[in-house]
């Protein structure tokens, strides 16, 4: 038993190293897209309430991709899905760049939607890390892959500061740089040693595979989905509005880049020890801590609109997302069989990113159209977190009262 576990973990560690590099290099585009999306939308949208629609389209693209890309990976292997995502990332950035060049909001939105295919594929890096990992190494594998985002958190916004005004059309250089990141980063996938695809979708009538309805009646699965949904949606709700709030309060685009950079660092830096904390304290306690930290981020944001407030609130927002989302991913990964992963992981990400899409749509409306000024809009964004934190906290408490399931 020990020898098998050692062999499995040796293979898993090699895959994790490649996935960490992939997260670092290709993942650098995500903070760039979230900084420039709303600002580019402000330039082109006829209605300021639609300024964050490019970001919403990225997340909507991820939501609508998850249900088919997960079975696609089940049939053809993870590597094929990751290549597809990187190609879509390059294509989406190219279309968005063209939209900016011709000053077409509609074309920018189309490019943003295509970029969402990359975002969906990237979301499965964390699941790929568990495919060859032992049960003991699984939380650490997820955490290490997520930690790859630490480099992207620093590199992406700093690269964006260098290229965002490289051309007469603002942000055109950002989208062209994102194309290059995808085309170069996809070469890493040749090094992955993951299970081959099945070549077919496993029959839903197989006795070893539960139906979607049965899986969604499993307490651990439904709580994992709720907590992942709330953690990711609330992080997106606040982060989407942050560049608009920072610039609207009189600070610069470079200030916005720096704030988002530290936010993404806070999202991924804890990943070096989140897996250890889950093993030590239990997954439900770490998820609960994440939800509490998200609430603290909202409180800090509501106390003022100085640069310090923005920095501290966004750092807490990233840390809360890390504990909540990695914890929920770990809980989900322990709740299904290998044959069920293609169905439940795709369903999980479709639900999660569906809610994230709604959050990003709501973010622009709350920020620009719910008050008389920027401060009122920013406060509305942060107050909107409350009912969803109550929902996730209640679900976690409910699971915690079933100790045989929460263990």
- Condensed to tens digits (0 to 9), the pLDDT of residues 137-147 reads 877 787 788 77
8 A C-beta contact, residue 318 and residue 263: yes
Residue 272: predicted pLDDT: 78
| 111 within some domain | yes
198 found inside a domain: no
Q: Residue 263: inside a domain, yes or no?
A: yes
| 337 token code pair | 């069989």
Position 275 in a domain: yes
Give residue 200's pLDDT: 53
Q: What predicted TM-score, i.e. pTM, was given to this entire model?
A: 0.73
Range of the domain at 345: 2-191+212-406
Q: Does residue 147 fall inside a structural domain?
A: yes
CATH number at residue 135: 1.20.1250.20
pLDDT < 70 stretches in the chain: 1-8, 197-209, 212, 336-339, 341-342, 371, 402-407
Q: Which H or E run includes 104?
A: none
Cβ neighbours of residue 314 closer than 8 Å, sequence gap 6 or more: 238, 239, 242, 259, 260, 262, 263, 266, 297
Specify the number of domains making up the chain: 1
Query: How far from the centroid of its chain's Cα atoms is residue 298's Cα?
Result: 19
The pLDDT, as a whole number, for residue 361 is 81
Assigned domain for 150 exists: yes
How many Cβ atoms from other residues are within 10 Å of residue 5's Cβ?
Answer: 14
Q: Is residue 74, in this structure, part of any structural domain at all? A: yes
* Secondary structure percentages of the chain, helix, strand, coil, to 5: 80, 0, 20
Do the domain assignments include residue 202?
A: no
Distance CA 32, CA 39 (A): 11
Mean pLDDT in the chain? 85
């Amino acid at each position: 038993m020990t020898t098998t576990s050692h062999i499995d973990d040796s293979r898993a560690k090699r895959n994790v190293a490649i996935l960490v590099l992939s997260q670092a290099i290709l993942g650098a585009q995500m903070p760039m897209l979230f900084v420039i999306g709303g600002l580019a939308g402000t330039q082109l949208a006829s209605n300021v309430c639609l300024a964050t629609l490019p970001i919403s389209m990225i997340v909507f693209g991820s939501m609508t991709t998850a249900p088919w890309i997960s079975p696609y990976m089940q049939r053809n292997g993870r590597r094929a899905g990751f290549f597809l995502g990187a190609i879509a990332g390059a294509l989406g950035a190219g279309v968005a760049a063209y939209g900016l060049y011709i000053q077409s909001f509609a074309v920018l939105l189309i490019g943003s939607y295509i970029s969402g295919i990359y975002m969906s594929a990237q979301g499965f890096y964390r699941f790929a890390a568990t495919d060859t990992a032992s049960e003991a190494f699984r939380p650490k594998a997820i955490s290490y892959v997520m930690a790859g985002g630490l480099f992207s958190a620093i590199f992406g916004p700093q690269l964006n500061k260098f290229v965002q005004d490289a051309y007469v059309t603002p942000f055109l250089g950002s989208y062209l740089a994102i194309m290059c990141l995808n085309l170069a980063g996809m070469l890493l996938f040749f090094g992955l040693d993951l299970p081959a695809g099945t070549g077919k979708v496993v029959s839903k009538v197989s006795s070893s595979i539960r139906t979607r309805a049965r899986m969604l009646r499993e307490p651990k699965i439904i709580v994992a989905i709720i907590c992942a949904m709330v953690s990711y949606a609330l992080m997106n709700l606040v982060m989407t509005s942050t560049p608009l709030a920072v610039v609207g309060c009189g600070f610069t685009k470079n200030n916005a880049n720096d704030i988002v950079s530290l936010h993404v660092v806070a999202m991924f830096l804890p990943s070096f020890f989140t897996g250890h904390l889950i093993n030590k304290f239990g997954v439900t306690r770490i998820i609960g801590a994440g939800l509490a930290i998200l609430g603290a981020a909202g409180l800090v944001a509501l106390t003022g609109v100085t640069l310090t407030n923005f920095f501290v609130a966004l750092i807490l927002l990233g840390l809360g997302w890390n504990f909540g989302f990695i914890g929920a991913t770990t809980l989900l990964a322990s709740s299904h069989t290998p044959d069920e992963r293609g169905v439940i992981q795709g369903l999980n990400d479709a639900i999660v990113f569906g809610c994230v899409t709604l959050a990003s749509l709501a973010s622009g409306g709350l920020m620009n159209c719910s008050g008389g000024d920027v401060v009122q809009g920013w406060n509305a964004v942060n107050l909107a977190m409350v009912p969803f934190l109550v929902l996730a906290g209640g679900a976690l408490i409910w699971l915690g009262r079933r100790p045989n399931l929460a263990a």
